[in-house]
Amino acid sequence: MAHAPVSAGLVVPYITLAHRDRTRPIWGRIDAQRRGEVLHNKRCQVCGEPLDATLVLMIRPSDYQRGVAVEPALHPECAWYSRRACVMLAGHVDRYNPCGGSPLNRCADPRCRCRFWTSTEDNDATQGREGKPAEAWYEAWIRFDDYRVFTVPADESGPAATGIALRRVPLLRLRKVRDPAPDGRDTEWMDILAKIVAARKLWNNLALGEFADNNPWLPTDPASSTAPSRR
């Protein structure tokens, strides 16, 4: 993320629609081509680099119910930054793009693709959010080995959507990032699920600690264990 373009003091995410000069982003709009690129190539939506052994998904209760995370994955450190920099995740706004997102201004660079932009350019990872109450958001941690691109067909809960599969995927961690808007949907059941995931992790850690205490052959020097390298 250190080499990512910056605009107005904020990192410009890799999937954000922008001019050829990427310090001129169109905030609130998504570059559909770049989104597909990071989704299928298992890269981070913020920095564009390959994902690590553990990754973070930003999901809503509706995503979990449908079994697909429509937002591309992030590195843990990029997720940390997003929680603070994104006005939606930080809880600074209660509605999605109430004004329809930033205008699609053209620039004078003849090599910039902005001349091909249309009014129908994607302005979010999913359609139909504009002006609607903000939902609760959670960060779900999963293993890289469990990463699978999945398309859920259109049904009564929403249009067809392609993202990262959530069904039958073990969650390493599930934590609420923000509450829903006052007129948003109830998320009590998702909060309970987050507590279950946390309790399971605690139990596994306790069990692992007891196993290590009873096995003197296991290394005790932290330097003897190596972290997974970035792919």
At 99 the pLDDT is 59
Res. 27: pLDDT tops 70: yes
Q: What is the dihedral of CA 3, 7, 8, 13, to 10 degrees?
A: -80
Residues 172-215 pLDDT 10s: 999 999 999 988 777 899 999 999 999 988 888 887 665 555 55
Percent of the chain with pLDDT over 70: 82
The Cα-based distances of 106 to 102, 113, 118, 119 in angstroms read 12, 9, 11, 12
Q: Other CB atoms closer than 10 Å to residue 138's CB: what's the count? A: 25
Give the range among 125-134, 168-177, 207-216 with minimum mean pLDDT.
207-216
Residues 139-151 pLDDT 10s: 999 999 999 999 9
Give the range among 3-12, 56-65, 127-136, 176-185 with minimum mean pLDDT.
127-136
Residues 82-122 pLDDT 10s: 999 999 999 999 988 755 556 788 999 999 999 988 765 55
Give 222's DSSP letter: G
At 141 the pLDDT is 98
At 122 the pLDDT is 54
Give the range among 50-59, 166-175, 200-209 with minimum mean pLDDT.
200-209
Q: Other CB atoms closer than 10 Å to residue 135's CB: what's the count? A: 22
At 223 the pLDDT is 43
State how far the Cα of 42 lies from the Cα of 37, in Å rounded to an integer: 8
Residue 126 pLDDT class (50, 70, 90 cuts): very low
CB 140 within 8 Å of CB 166 = yes
State how far the Cα of 107 lies from the Cα of 25, in Å rounded to an integer: 12
